[in-house]
Amino acid sequence: MSPTPTNYDPMKPRIYIDKEGNWYQDGLPIIHKRTYLQNNKNLKRDQEGRYYVDEGRGRVYAVVEDTPFVVKMVTRRGGNLYLVLNDETEEILDFSTLTLSVDNVPYTKVKGGQFDARFVRPAYYELTKMLRQEGDKYYIELQGRKHVLKTK
C-alpha cells in the first residue's frame, strides 16, 4: 500500500458537475454510462450543503456549477407533466417548486425535493410551448387548473 501524498486533501472536490449535467473527475469527462448513472444515484449533500458521491467506503466531494440535476425533456401525459432527468429517471413535475430565474431559466425540485434541477434548452422550449401569459404572470394550464410560475 502506498503512503498518502502530503498534498492530499480529502475535502477537496475531485468531481465537477457543469450546468448541463456533465460530470468530470480530476478534470476528465465521465463518459462511461454506468459510472455516470451510478454517481448520480449516489449523490448526496452533507449537513453544510456540500455535494458528495457516497462510495460506501468514503465520500468524494463535488463542485456543482449550477444544479446537480438537469431536466432534459418534458412530456405531457394526461393531467401531468413528466420530466426526464440527466440520470435517465422520470418524475412528475411538482408545480409548487417550479420557478423562473431572473434570466428566465426554469428550475424545479426533484428527488423528493432534495435537489434543484435546471431545465436545459430542449426541455425549456417544450415548457414554453405550454406557457400562457395573463398580465405579468405566466402559467401552464392542465385539466382546467392554472399553475402560475413563480420568479426567484
Cell 456540500 belongs to which residue? 50
The reported pTM is 0.86
Q: Are strands 59-64 and 51-54 parallel, antiparallel or unpaired?
A: antiparallel
Per-residue pLDDT tens for 45-70? 999 999 999 988 888 999 999 999 99
Q: Which fold has domain 15-64?
A: duf1285 like fold (3.10.540)
Amino acid (one-letter) located at 8: Y
Average pLDDT of the chain? 90
Rounded to 5, what percent of the chain is helix, strand, coil? 15, 45, 40
Residue 6 has pLDDT above 80, yes or no: no
- Give the single-character DSSP code of 104: S
Is the distance from CB of 99 to CB of 148 less than 8 angstroms? no
CB 99 within 8 A of CB 106: yes
